[in-house]
Structure 1
Amino acid sequence: MNTSDTIIAPATGSGDAGIAIIRISGADSLSALFRFFTPTGRQTELQSHRLYHGLLRNDSDFVVDEVMAVYMAAPHTYTREDVVEIQCHGGQQVIKSILKLYQSFGIRLAQPGEFTYRAFMNGRLDLSQAEAVSQLIHAKTDSSRKLAIKQMGGGLSRVIYNFSSQLKHILVLTEAWLDFPEEDLPDEDIADFIAVLTDLKSKILTITETYSCGRVLTEGASILLVGQPNAGKSSLMNALLGEDRAIVTDVPGTTRDFLEEGLSIDGVPVSLVDTAGLRTSSDIVEIEGIRRTEEKISLADLVLLVVDSSRTPDQLDFSALESCSGRPIFVVYTKIDKAIELDFNTFGAFPVYRVSSKTAEGLDSLRHGISSFLKKDYTTTDETVLLTESRHFEALQRCLEPIGRALFCCQNNADLELIAFDIREALYFLGQISGETTTEDILDDIFSGFCIGK
């Protein structure tokens, strides 16, 4: 992206609204504003960060719109450039006319994410904070909003900076002693290196373990309802959703394909999937539905094995359990209002829930169990950092390798050059999270996922 141009874009979403905001950023922002804007008070100068009423007029002196405009002088702006924001009426024709007006003056339409890209390039945000801006815009639940706000405020950035600072201290000392090859590095320094690297390795491992929870809270979890036909899967889905979305009949095999619906369970975005009942069938459509169910199981974050408690479990129930092998499983006994005498531990050491879709008995307990499983213990304190981006997770995993090698070298009195090499490599991977060592291709990929105007 060319950051020397002055750019313009709507900062508010598409669609008609009462008010829209158009943002301009760059060296020519103020002169561009005055080219078409006439303040009501006829001011010739605008104070920074103060809102002014006035009219936008085109070259023919026709009024385009009545607006409020604010000029914000660098560096106290989002992009750390001069910025102008125009609050206009929110009709799409009004917005298009204003954009066309300023494009005729030579102001370029911004690319997706270009305002945030400039904030990053000008040191307003590091890369993890910039990514959090996009996460905040696309947050599906209050939990994902809170995570994005925390990361945007520098929660992850501070942790990465702390890790980098400790590694840089080791690197500085190592390279200093490399300049004096006739002297050995003092034992106390080696001992300090070992302590620091051991602590860093432990902390990075702890953070990487939060990724599954962070991913679920931002992207959502896939929960499959699996069981034999007529076990009550569709009724359970409707009960959890609070509305009739799945067709419920007494005829086994009513659900022949999977039905997927979204909901929020205690702030966790969830995709609930009602699947075809698992059994041997001669129906071509049902066979395909069963095949798709088995395919979906391998991708599920959690499987609810649905068992009808009004009858004794049979081989089809155990076959359904076997098909879920390797996935996290909750055993959910349905129709508890009609239950017979059963051993509810028949299926082994899985969490067991007893519910009635008809009376709602046990549903709150099931919801709480799902929430606790997906959230684990990571959201209980404000100090906890959760990874939400696969890019950050992969960078930290790769960072562990050179840290482990450097630790081994320190413990075995290896050549200082090997230690320095591994520390530089670890710093490189940490820099990919903050943006210090990120390539242009990766930056383009990250910011292209933003909306225009942010």
Structure 2
Amino acid sequence: MPRLDTIAAVATAVAPGQGGIAVIRLSGPVAEQVGQAVVRCPGRQEWGSHRILYGHVMAVDGQRRLDEVLLLLMRAPRSFTGEDVVEIHCHGGVMAVQQVMERVLEQPGVRRALPGEFSQRAVLNGRLDLTQAEAVSALVSARSRRAADLAMAGLDGGIQARITALRERLLDQLTELEARVDFEDDLPPLDGTALLNELQAVRTELLALVADGERGDALRHGLRVALVGRPNVGKSSLLNRLSRRERAIVTELPGTTRDLLESEIVLDGVPITLMDTAGIRATNDAVEQLGIARSEEALMSADLVLLIVDGHAGWTETDAQLLARIPNAVPRVVVANKSDLDGPPLPREVDVQFSALNGAGEDALVQVLLERCGAGDAAAIVLSLNTRQRDLASAAAAALARSHEVAQQQLPWDFWTIDLREAIRGLGEITGEELTEAVLERVFSRFCIGK
């Protein structure tokens, strides 16, 4: 699809006093012309494709220098978007980037890029398939090494290759079916059992990809884990132990934690946000009451709740009440802290014994935590479908499941093709072989502006 306009955006993060350089990216038919108009390159530097030029961005008067920059020109089709692309590498921060961007947008035929528009043009121009474009976004937002590895697997074409292979198998079966619909008298009989087995084999593989994708969500988006319990049972000590730093104040006085305290960590490749909550108890302290109210909110929003009890003091009626207050839909792990001290026998509700003092039981705690969230074997995932891709794969699997009903009712071959076509169409939408404007809008509206 040809583009008549040229788009521009800042392609790097911009913050006051942060970053030595920033990159402003242009793509479109007048990108090179804009670069020549905005950047003055001294001497006899050659404006060649895939060359770096040195110069200055000049003010409108052509006299005042706004910034010292490097300019990279990539002519079509050898660029990210498949169009003429210019990147202006200026100094980082805010003001220099803003002034250079203003000069670019002042040029005729240039407008500010929409979210994900560079990647969208790359897809439309055949530089990337849809799964690779989505992998680019996942790589940019990766919060752990494993999340970055999964994004790279998608960027390398792993998802596209797997889905395309499954789609080709379905297309082969559709071809056989359509041939029987049109020329059944001239062809040998089609083995319905073998056909059904092949469709169900593809369905099984799709369901496995969906399951891996659901576990991979923990690697991509992370988990929010709320630490709850009575005052002074060791919630803050547990947070400090897992965080490997003194993130929370720890004293022997109950009610020390009065607000929701968060700490970002990574456990076995899974990003975890630990939320240390105020100890839940009856109190007349107004500030502590606000903290307890936030603890109640954390119970509702968490992906998992760690209920901390005092293993030295033993299980109490208050612990049982707190356990009952955790929503049924939220996974929970009951941790008996202070395992380094002797205590009474613990009830079956306790999953792990742990010592925030010396770290005993930490490995078991991490393993149970990840298993309860469905991320226990996330490290073994090779490919991970995102939510959009999983929805389409699940719909395709459901369409293939209906072939059982068609077979049992012994309906003619043309009835088989209905659900088979639906499955093929869904898989094509995953990779972009079945593109619609709605698909493009749904995918690229979630991208950052400069990507």
TM range (shorter): 0.7 to 0.9
Contact 2:314 2:345 in 1 (8 A): no
Residue 416 (str. 1) matches residue 413 (str. 2): yes
Tell me the residue number matched to 2:359: 360
Distance in structure 2 (CA, Å) of the matches to 1:251 and 1:236: 16
> 92, 110, 132: which one pairs with 1:129?
132
Residue 159 (str. 1) matches residue 162 (str. 2): yes
Tell me the residue number matched to 1:240: 242
**SS at the partner of 1:398?**
helix
Distance in structure 2 (CA, Å) of the matches to 1:319 and 1:185: 70
Contact 1:193 1:410 in 2 (8 A): no
Tell me the residue number matched to 1:103: 105
Residue 21 (str. 1) matches residue 18 (str. 2): no
What is the deviation of 1:116?
0.9
Tell me the residue number matched to 1:315: 317
Tell me the residue number matched to 1:453: 450
**SS at the partner of 1:305?**
strand
Distance in structure 2 (CA, Å) of the matches to 1:257 and 1:66: 47
What is the deviation of 1:421?
1.0
Greater Cα shift, 59-68 or 213-222: 59-68
Distance in structure 1 (CA, Å) of the matches to 2:91 and 2:296: 52
- 2:415 maps to a residue whose letter is L
- 1:50 maps to a residue whose letter is R
Tell me the residue number matched to 2:73: 71
Contact 1:230 1:251 in 2 (8 A): yes
Tell me the residue number matched to 1:10: 10
Contact 2:331 2:372 in 1 (8 A): no
Taking structure 1 as the reference length, the TM-score comes to 0.86
**SS at the partner of 1:180?**
helix
What is the deviation of 1:197?
0.8
**SS at the partner of 1:336?**
coil
Contact 1:329 1:351 in 2 (8 A): no
What is the deviation of 1:78?
0.4
**SS at the partner of 1:337?**
coil
- 1:335 maps to a residue whose letter is K
What does 1:43-442 align with in structure 2 at a 5 Å threshold?
Answer: 43=45, 46-58=47-59, 60-62=61-63, 63-106=65-108, 107-180=110-183, 182=185, 186-188=189-191, 190-255=192-257, 258-278=260-280, 293=295, 296-297=298-299, 299-324=301-326, 325=328, 327-340=330-343, 342-344=344-346, 346-348=347-349, 351-355=351-355, 357-367=356-366, 369-371=368-370, 375-380=375-380, 384-387=382-385, 389-410=386-407, 412-442=409-439
Distance in structure 1 (CA, Å) of the matches to 2:341 and 2:380: 38
- 1:428 maps to a residue whose letter is R
Greater Cα shift, 417-426 or 314-323: 314-323
What is the deviation of 1:443?
2.4
Distance in structure 1 (CA, Å) of the matches to 2:288 and 2:58: 65
Taking structure 2 as the reference length, the TM-score comes to 0.87
What is the deviation of 1:300?
3.4
- 1:71 maps to a residue whose letter is L
What is the deviation of 1:334?
1.1
Identity of aligned residues (%): 37
Distance in structure 1 (CA, Å) of the matches to 2:60 and 2:237: 65
Distance in structure 2 (CA, Å) of the matches to 1:285 and 1:64: 51
Distance in structure 2 (CA, Å) of the matches to 1:260 and 1:57: 46
Distance in structure 1 (CA, Å) of the matches to 2:261 and 2:178: 61
CA deviations 1:55-91 (Å, max 9, x no partner) are 4445543244433222212112100111112222335
Contact 2:352 2:364 in 1 (8 A): no
Greater Cα shift, 123-132 or 76-85: 123-132
Greater Cα shift, 195-204 or 258-267: 258-267
CA deviations 1:90-143 (Å, max 9, x no partner) are 353333333333333212222222111111111212222212212211222222
Distance in structure 1 (CA, Å) of the matches to 2:35 and 2:78: 18
What is the deviation of 1:219?
0.8
What is the deviation of 1:175?
1.9
Structure 1's unaligned 5+ residue stretches are none
**Cα distance, 1:291–1:93 mapped onto 2, change above 3 Å:** closer
**Cα distance, 1:186–1:287 mapped onto 2, change above 3 Å:** farther
**Cα distance, 1:113–1:288 mapped onto 2, change above 3 Å:** same
**SS at the partner of 1:338?**
coil
**SS at the partner of 2:71?**
strand
Distance in structure 1 (CA, Å) of the matches to 2:185 and 2:370: 60
Distance in structure 1 (CA, Å) of the matches to 2:142 and 2:86: 27
Greater Cα shift, 226-235 or 417-426: 226-235
